[in-house]
Amino acid sequence: MSEEKQQPQVGISPDQLASILDAINNRSDERMIKFAQELRKPTPEEQAKLDRDLAKTKERALAAARVAMADEEGKKNAAKMCPHGTTHEGTGVFKHQWRAQVHTPAGERAYYIPRCTQCGSTWDTVYGLPSPKVVATQDQMKEGVNLDKWSVNDIHRVVEWLKLNPVAEEVTA
Ligand SMILES: [Zn+2]
């Protein structure tokens, strides 16, 4: 009948629609690629800044590595020098520097790791024990270890006991 009724029938064929969609997609793909290329290619100023940043990052990493090495050296020296306590110059009284806090991991026996506050040594390295850990008693779980109040003899007694009763593997983590 009228053209108005025919037009919708003529319309756009599926093939035409597909090619138009392709063209739109291709155009946007091209634009995206250009965009990406622009983003990837910094201006000379940007490149200079990137180079400076990279140099700074390298410098910082080197400095951190140097500090870490110095720390390790310092720790080694401290360990060599440290007799695990200090002797009062006036009184000549020796005070050990072993300290520890009780850890109560879920499903494991409570334990503590005596550590020298001067050099960071633990009993396994100092006394040749298989583990740095000591199983905590019920009292210690409640009251803390209070290693600062132990005498040197107390420590030697516990160390001797640990040599005969090494901490079981399941406690070591
Ligand atoms: Zn020490």
Residue 85 CA to ligand 1 centre (angstroms) = 7
Collect the ranges in the chain with pLDDT lower than 50: 2-3, 5-8, 171-173
The residue among 81, 103, 128 that closes a domain is 81
Q: Is residue 3 part of a domain?
A: no
99 and 66 in a single domain? The answer is no
Q: Does 64 lie in the same domain as 124?
A: no
Q: How far is CA 108 from CA 116, 130, 135, 138, in A?
A: 24, 18, 10, 14
Q: Based on the domain organization, do 132 and 68 belong to the same domain?
A: no
Q: Is residue 87 part of a domain?
A: no
Per-residue model confidence (pLDDT) at position 24: 65
* 88 belongs to a structural domain: no
Say yes or no: 120 and 158 in one domain: yes
Q: Are residues 71 and 105 in the same domain?
A: no
Residue 169 pLDDT = 55
Interval between CA 149 and ligand 1 midpoint (Å): 17
Do 114 and 72 share a structural domain? Answer: no
- Predicted local confidence at residue 147, as pLDDT: 96
Six-digit token string for 92: 């000549």
Locate 164 and state its tokens: 């005969």
Task: Name the amino acid, one letter, at 39.
Answer: L
**Same domain, residue pair 76 and 100:** no
- Answer whether residue 60 is part of any domain: yes
Which structural domain range is residue 64 located in?
Answer: 13-81
Name residue 118's amino acid. Answer: Q
Residue 7 belongs to a domain: no
Centre of ligand 1 to C-alpha 115, Å, is: 8
74 shares a domain with 119: no
Spatial CA neighbour of 140 closest among 126, 119, 121, 158: 158
Contact residues for 29 (Cβ-Cβ < 8 A; gap 6+): none
Same domain, 65 and 104: no
Any domain includes 8: no
- Alpha carbon of 86 to ligand 1 centroid (Å): 10
Domain boundary among 24, 54, 81: 81
Q: Is 107 left (phi over 0), alpha (psi -120 to 50) or beta?
A: left
Q: How many structural domains is the chain composed of?
A: 2
Q: Are residues 114 and 62 in the same domain?
A: no
- Whole-number pLDDT of residue 157: 95
The DSSP result for the chain, as a single string, is --HHHHHHHHS--HHHHHHHHHHHHHHHHHHHHHHHHHHHS--HHHHHHHHHHHHHHHHHHHHHHHHHHHHHHHHHHHHHH--SEEE-TTT--EEE-EE--EE--TTS--EE--EETTT--BHHHHH--S-S-EEPPHHHHHH---GGG--HHHHHHHHHHHHHSPPPGGG--
| Domain stop point among 28, 59, 81 | 81
Task: For residues 48 and 61, give the distance between their C-alpha atoms in angstroms, rounded to a whole number.
Answer: 20
**How does pLDDT run across 8-36, given as a tens digit for each residue?**
455 677 777 677 667 767 766 676 677 67
Q: How far is the CA of 104 from the centre of ligand 1 (A)?
A: 25
